[in-house]
Amino acid sequence: MQAAAAEAAAAAEAAAQASAEPGAQGKRADPLGPTNRTMLGMVATPRPDGAPQSNYPGPPAAPASGPPRQRTRRQYADSNSLPPPAPSRKGNKLVIIAGVMLVALLLVVGGGLGIYLLMSGDSSSVRASVVATEAGDGLRVEVIDAPEGARVRFGGQELVLEDGASVFPLASDTLTVGDNELTVELIDGDGEQEAHTVTLTVSYRVRADLSALAANPPALAIVVDALPGSEVTVGGEAVPLDEEGRGRRLYPIDGSADEAVLEHQAEYRVTLPDGQVHIGSVETRVPFATLQLDRPGVDVVTDGEGIEVAGAVHAGGSVTIAGSEVEHVEGRFVHTHALPEVGEHEVRIVARQPGRAPRTIAIQIRRVADMEAEAASFTAEPGLDYARLAQNPTIYRGKQVILEGRVYNVDVSNGRSFLQILVRGCSRGQRCPLWITYSQATDATVHDWIRVLGTVTGEQQFRSESDRVITVPRV
């Protein structure tokens, strides 16, 4: 008996060092391109890619009594861990008390389980472990010296053993805190079946819950399930548990940053009723919803009683403007937002998409009584005309100018405008090009005459249609 126990312990320790460590990284191109694109020679800035990544951890070493165990997980949304004592055998039934890390389904599923489970009847020829796969958590059943054509059945699914093993998917709710009985059936080439029951006792689970992303305001929830009487902290704050050992902590999601992916890490500490302490972290990565703002831009001055808001979201998503849902057609939306009073206004646009974090864009609008009166209050740098500016645009950064010219190229995308004009008043036979960056969508078109009141930001290089690199002042 001592030799058999030592052999089983050695096998468990060896398996605990083996793990699948797949990496899943995908890129999802934004199907929505810029609108009203007529600019020639524009310098394009790459747009961020919102594709998620995943890193799967290997199995942790078997826990030992004494100081708290540190467990850091890189995964998508779920982390469960429990300390496994040595398994005990009783006929065809194996009882295992183990630590478990589960993974919830996001846009891409990732994560890992590092628990080695030993299943054995009268011998140690059948083993099982919970592993991480590209499709989520899986139960790996291994049969040593399996006969050719042998199969294994679990959860209503039957698989042929390949190289003596099969991996079955585990749903995120397959294992719960407490005792979990899993039945695995082995089928040999003659059709004879042998059932094995695994009793897995889970002492706690810590995981990310995405359902709160749909709330208003949106949040990421770190959910705790533990044995009643446990004490838990998440992010350094105590999480009260109810009588069933359940609790959660909410992290508000702003969604206004430029990042394509929401990344969040929550450190946790679980003290079980028997005094055992477990420390770890839940790292969540989930892409933001698609939201493109075509007009008016994020910083607007207008004298109108309303402003047109237009853009795009994912065709399967939704969009709200100032708290009211707006209809979109295949992802495109146009809405007129009323500005009843002169003064400062903030309009928040929120896009939601299944399986993704909501994206928010805040538009700052200043409605004035008269745009002409507003322009009259603008003060330009004395004597700074185009000829002086063009000599060395860099040294005049931050200076204010007033220039007039005719538009020969314009591009409006993502709520911003880029215009190229020829400034009025050039010497005969000369051309005076100027590059303009405008923080909102413009209605100006090619051949329009416009007046520019702005701040010099240096110089701009672009490649012309004749393939020449041209450097011009930028305002």
Domains of the chain (ranges plus CATH)? 2-21+56-205 (no CATH), 291-370 (2.60.40.10), 378-474 (2.40.50.140)
What b/e readout covers 197-212, taking b as 16+ CB neighbours within 10 angstroms? Answer: ebbbbbbbbbbbbbeb
pLDDT exceeds 70 at position 254: yes
Q: What value does the mean pLDDT of the chain take?
A: 75
pLDDT at 47: 38
Nearest to 52 by CA among 76, 79, 68: 76
Quick one: average pLDDT of 30-38?
35
Quick one: average pLDDT of 303-328?
92
Quick one: average pLDDT of 184-191?
81
DSSP 431-443: --EEEEEESB---
pLDDT at 136: 58
CA 435 remoteness from chain centre: 36
Q: Summarize pLDDT for 431-464 with one digit per residue, the tens.
A: 899 999 988 888 899 999 999 999 999 999 888 7
The number of beta carbons lying within 10 Å of the beta carbon of residue 264 is 17
Question: Distance between CA 198 and CA 294 in Å, rounded?
Answer: 57
For 36-80, where are the E strands, in sequence order? 53-55, 69-72, 78-80
Residue 63 has phi, psi (to 5 degrees) of -70, 155
pLDDT exceeds 70 at position 81: no
| pTM score above 0.85 | no
Tell me the percentage of the chain whose pLDDT exceeds 70.
71
For 239-331, where are the E strands, in sequence order? 246-252, 261-271, 277-287, 291-295, 299-302, 306-313, 318-321, 324-326
pLDDT exceeds 90 at position 427: no
| Structure-derived torsion over alpha carbons of residues 224, 230, 235, 237, reported in degrees to the nearest 10 | 120
116 versus 13: the higher-pLDDT residue is 13
pLDDT exceeds 80 at position 96: no
User: CA neighbours within 13 Å on the CB side: how many for 437?
Assistant: 14
Contact at 8 Å (CB) between 339 and 365? yes
Mean pLDDT lowest among 89-103, 134-148, 341-355: 89-103
Nearest to 64 by CA among 24, 137, 121, 9: 9
| Structure-derived torsion over alpha carbons of residues 106, 107, 108, 113, reported in degrees to the nearest 10 | 0
Which pLDDT band holds residue 129 (cuts at 50, 70, 90)?
low
65 versus 415: the higher-pLDDT residue is 415
pLDDT exceeds 90 at position 104: no
pLDDT at 445: 92
270 versus 23: the higher-pLDDT residue is 270
34 versus 361: the higher-pLDDT residue is 361
Mean pLDDT lowest among 184-188, 221-225, 251-255: 184-188
| Structure-derived torsion over alpha carbons of residues 21, 124, 194, 171, reported in degrees to the nearest 10 | -20
Quick one: average pLDDT of 232-256?
92
